Chain A
Amino acid sequence: MELNSRIPDGPIEKKWERHKFESKLVNPANKRKYRVIMVGSGLAGGAGAASLAELGYNVDCFCYQDSPRRAHSIAAQGGINAAKNYRNDGDSVYRLFYDTVKGGDFRAREANVYRLAEVSADIIDQCVANGVPFAREYGGLLDNRSFGGAQVSRTFYARGQTGQQLLIGAYQALERQVGLGTVKMHSRHEMLELIVVDGVAKGIITRDMVTGEIESHLADAVIIATGGYGNVFYLSTNAMGCNGTAVWRAHKKGAAFGNPCFTQIHPTCIPVTGDHQSKLTLMSESLRNDGRVWVPKKKEDCKKNPNDIKEEDRDYYLERKYPSFGNLAPRDISSRAAKQVCDEGRGVGETGLGVYLDFSDAIRRLGKAKIEEKYGNLFEMYERITDENPYETPMRIYPAVHYTMGGLWVDYNLMSTIPGLFVAGEANFSDHGANRLGASALMQGLADGYFVLPATVSNYLAGLKPGMRPAADHPAVKDTVSAVKARMEKLLSIKGTKSPTHFHRELGKIMWEYCGMARNEAGLKKGLELIPKLREEFWKDVRVLGENESLNQSLEMAARVADYLELAELMCLDALQRRESCGGHFREEFQTEDGEALRDDENFCHVAVWEYQGEGQVPVRHIESLSFENVHLATRSYK
């Protein structure tokens, strides 16, 4: 497999400008002759579908939800980064670029990250033009807050609902195009397969989730923007329906997978309460602006009422270990630190898997009203779930799976190793390296959707003759439809004894135990032993009731779990072969004396790019070497 990242020549500040100029354009009158498929309607998908339609292309947009407005981007709370330097605190495009490369522990591609930082300021302008009601100061100008991994205030926000407001902005732009007839929206449709004709992506197969109909949709280009695959772990902060099927199916059709083991465990989530738990709820990282993280110094204090524990008996471990970043240390580092204190037996709450996030100092300093204005809705959400009042008792939090930095490998144009297949947002591997900084996912989704795809997809289409889509009765299309139908029938015909959720939960336990916050060789090997066994059991004993020809959530779930059972194995394999610690990937064998991640730049300064080899075959690990010409490789320190 040939990997060409297609990074434009020239100095990093000029690459994107030059690339856009050198890209081919499509004559306005010809644009309507092309059809583009967008799978997903979140920030990358919604903004991308709207923007491509604004240019004049015909777009078919698909989402599994009942409306594109419900994509999980909506749940992002804290904010979106942009290098506006409105605070006069020394921010710049270069600094955002630098922070993101460093935050990603030097495992991202410099050119992509620079472009992300470069378009970040345009994103804020675009969102305001679309009517996003960002927080403002009394003078009428935009307000900012700080986020982890940065020493400047560059995060724009809309209360604790930034993702919601950005998504609604993109959704409105999308619906405008639906009204104009340039976008055809297919809600409650799930992509189950990619159509590849002569090595080129030409369409997708979907299941209409209401009627069960298996349909083929053909296009000149296909874009996957279906988010991450964190739900492999069963418990995560993802929505229940988020899944890895689109990326996994594309992978099996030839799209290489980049860094599948890079998973972000978010430090501030509400701890698990019992076996019934179906998902985990995030408490925004922005809370660490004012909240202080601590655990008792002594194990015997752990069950006490936290308000009775004296100041000198508290260990504000982030402030102690990382004095310059303190409570705003990046996510991977904060999560690991929480795990360490809990492993030492100093965790709090019933399960001992929790640490305090305490606002009492901030309330004393700023007053309750100010805290309520900043975080009121988050405090309410916390109280609803836990029945505890965080104004009076410190919150209890624990890390949880939140985001996957890994994803389908793409070049600078966001095109995968299958020509004509583009991948945007969390679904691709490209910008965050081994650890994503807070408020950067929204930035990447919108950068890809509003600015990158319109340029790069146009360049691709300009090289195609219009109207060359395969016919619906092309053998490759018919064969793919039959294969999908057969898979659905197979799932319904097993009539075993255990529900799809049972297998999903079991897989989640294996992944959290052996491929979670800390990994080691023996554990990963164990995981690689257990997953195929579970997969075998699944295909013998899963019970899916009902039929294909109606709304059937068990069938939907079964098809997704079947794919998780394969993807999970690749994640473990990737984690096993990356014999270093970096960002969210922490291998216990590779750590410094004080427990920090120990990178191995000599052997692993690369993207691991996996190529599928067929059912039952070991996939091949290729590498894309990373070179750091601007931000020099250094040990990441937040001390």
Chain B
Amino acid sequence: MSHKSMNLTLHVWRQKNAKCDGKFVEYKADGVSPDMSFLEMLDVVNEGLIGKGEEPIEFDHDCREGICGTCSMVINGRPHGPKERTTTCQLHMRSFKDGDSITLEPWRAEAFPVVRDLVVDRTAFDRIIAAGGFITAPAGTPQDANALPIPKENADLSMDAAACIGCGACVAACPNASAMLFVSAKISHLGLLPQGQPERYLRVRDMVAQMDAEEFGTCTNHGECEAACPKGIKMENIARMNRDFIKASLTCRPTTTGGGAG
């Protein structure tokens, strides 16, 4: 562990709201400890700005444990920064060195409009889940959990996909701003489980339709999404989704999903 403090130069995207134009503004971050997390470094910068009477940099963050998926910024051109499989909040300043220049931008995608500074609107993801990313099983008294054995391999693969935190780094990394890694992770999580079978094809049809309606781009196999994903979600999920989608387009009749309330 190094204890030398660092002096850094930040180039931060500042944008008042979705309608205004934004621009990069330069800030100095001096005396940064390598043990700080990236967001703690920004906290210190913001305290300094408040001290000087300047409005602090707005950025999304919450759990700071790498699980809630709130933090979202492009650091030196990479969503969540330089460290593999690490969210911004789990990135520590020991990944940088004294004198570094760091550029900070919001997620850039048509479907994720900027709210302010580094904060974007990701509600498109919620709408995709609402379109079909669920298993219809209202609260009540279903069968005993062990009445439905699930091979460990399937449960583990489903869990791998379910580990998605919905941060949107995959979209930010993709040159097409495609959401297919996110959508396919949900398709895999539920489609690999026996409980998910009854709605499997309706689910993929409706989620993909919503994804398109939100104006996310399509996948052209760049693979940037998998590289940027802090949770290691794999592109094989996209292949699985495509297979299910083809089958769905050939077999599904035009119906609506969901069973109606009650």
B136: chain A residues at CB < 8 Å are 176
Q: Mark A169-183, 1 if CB is under 8 A from B, else 0.
A: 001110111111010
Q: Which of B85, B130, B135, B262 contacts A179 (CB 8 A)?
A: B130
Q: A630 in the interface, Cβ–Cβ < 8 Å?
A: no
Chain B residue at minimal CB-CB distance from A52:
B139
B92: chain A residues at CB < 8 Å are 384-385, 387
A17 to chain B, nearest CB (A): 13
A47 to B140, CA, bound (A): 12
A158: chain B residues at CB < 8 Å are 159, 162
The DSSP consensus for interface residues of chain B is loop
List 16 contacting pairs A-B, 8 Å CB cutoff, sorted by A.
A66-B123, A84-B145, A125-B142, A131-B158, A131-B193, A131-B196, A140-B149, A175-B129, A178-B130, A179-B130, A180-B258, A278-B64, A384-B90, A388-B1, A550-B16, A551-B116
Q: A467 in the interface, Cβ–Cβ < 8 Å?
A: no
Shortest beta-carbon contacts, A-B, top 4: A140-B149, A179-B130, A172-B134, A129-B137
Q: Is the CB of A133 within 8 A of B35?
A: no
Chain A residue at minimal CB-CB distance from B146:
A141
A86 to B162, CA, bound (A): 25
Q: B155 in the interface, Cβ–Cβ < 8 Å?
A: yes
Q: B260 in the interface, Cβ–Cβ < 8 Å?
A: yes
A158 to B144, CA, bound (A): 18
B196: chain A residues at CB < 8 Å are 131
Q: Which of B40, B126, B135, B260 contacts A130 (CB 8 A)?
A: B135
B75: chain A residues at CB < 8 Å are none
Q: Mark A37-78, 1 if CB is under 8 A from B, else 0.
A: 000000000010011011110000000011111101011000
Q: B11 in the interface, Cβ–Cβ < 8 Å?
A: no
Chain A residue at minimal CB-CB distance from B47:
A499
B81: chain A residues at CB < 8 Å are none
A51: chain B residues at CB < 8 Å are 138-139
Which of A159-167, A249-257, A286-294, A514-522 forms contacts with chain B?
A: A159-167
Q: Is the CB of A122 within 8 A of B141?
A: yes
Besides A133-B155, A551-B115, 9 new A-B residue pairs in contact (Cβ under 8 A), listed by A number: A55-B261, A131-B190, A136-B151, A164-B165, A172-B134, A180-B261, A276-B41, A387-B1, A387-B92
Range, interface on chain A: 35 or more
A70 to B258, CA, bound (A): 24
Q: B181 in the interface, Cβ–Cβ < 8 Å?
A: no
A69: chain B residues at CB < 8 Å are 69, 126, 129, 166
Q: A21 in the interface, Cβ–Cβ < 8 Å?
A: no
Chain B residue at minimal CB-CB distance from A279:
B64
Which of B55-63, B96-104, B213-221, B245-253 forms contacts with chain A?
A: B55-63
Chain B CB within 10 A, most for which of A47, A140, A179: A179
List which B1-58 residues lie within 8 A (CB) of chain A: 1, 16-17, 33, 35-37, 39-41, 43-44, 47, 50-51, 53-56, 58
B158: chain A residues at CB < 8 Å are 131, 133
B40: chain A residues at CB < 8 Å are 276-278
A131 to B139, CA, bound (A): 13
Q: A90 in the interface, Cβ–Cβ < 8 Å?
A: no
B193 to chain A, nearest CB (A): 6
Q: A83 in the interface, Cβ–Cβ < 8 Å?
A: no
B187 to chain A, nearest CB (A): 12
Chain A CB within 10 A, most for which of B60, B64, B68, B122: B68
Q: B66 in the interface, Cβ–Cβ < 8 Å?
A: yes
B95 to chain A, nearest CB (A): 10
Q: A385-B90, A550-B116 are in contact. Are A66 and B149 (CB under 8 A)?
A: no
A56: chain B residues at CB < 8 Å are 261-262
A241 to chain B, nearest CB (A): 5
A388 to B37, CA, bound (A): 15
Q: A147 in the interface, Cβ–Cβ < 8 Å?
A: no
Chain A residue at minimal CB-CB distance from B131:
A179
A451: chain B residues at CB < 8 Å are 139
Q: A133-B159, A173-B134, A187-B123 are in contact. Are A545 and B139 (CB under 8 A)?
A: no
Q: A484 in the interface, Cβ–Cβ < 8 Å?
A: no
B99 to chain A, nearest CB (A): 20
Q: Is the CB of B123 within 8 A of A67?
A: yes
B142: chain A residues at CB < 8 Å are 125-126, 128-129
Q: Is the CB of B43 within 8 A of A554?
A: no
Q: B143 in the interface, Cβ–Cβ < 8 Å?
A: yes
Q: B119 in the interface, Cβ–Cβ < 8 Å?
A: yes
Q: A354 in the interface, Cβ–Cβ < 8 Å?
A: no
Q: A66-B122, A126-B142, A278-B37 are in contact. Are A554 and B195 (CB under 8 A)?
A: no
Q: Is the CB of B195 within 8 A of A450?
A: no
Q: Is the CB of B126 within 8 A of A178?
A: yes
A182 to B47, CA, bound (A): 43
Q: Is the CB of B35 within 8 A of A273?
A: yes
Q: Is the CB of B145 within 8 A of A142?
A: yes
A189 to B130, CA, bound (A): 19
B136 to chain A, nearest CB (A): 7
A30 to chain B, nearest CB (A): 12
Chain B residue at minimal CB-CB distance from A273:
B35
List which A372-407 residues lie within 8 A (CB) of chain B: 380-381, 384-385, 387-388
Q: Mark B168-209, 1 if CB is under 8 A from A, else 0.
A: 000000000000000000000110010110000000000000
A138: chain B residues at CB < 8 Å are 151-152
Chain A CB within 10 A, most for which of B62, B123, B155, B158: B62
A546: chain B residues at CB < 8 Å are 55
Q: A131-B196, A180-B260 are in contact. Are A70 and B70 (CB under 8 A)?
A: yes
A129: chain B residues at CB < 8 Å are 135, 137, 142-143, 195
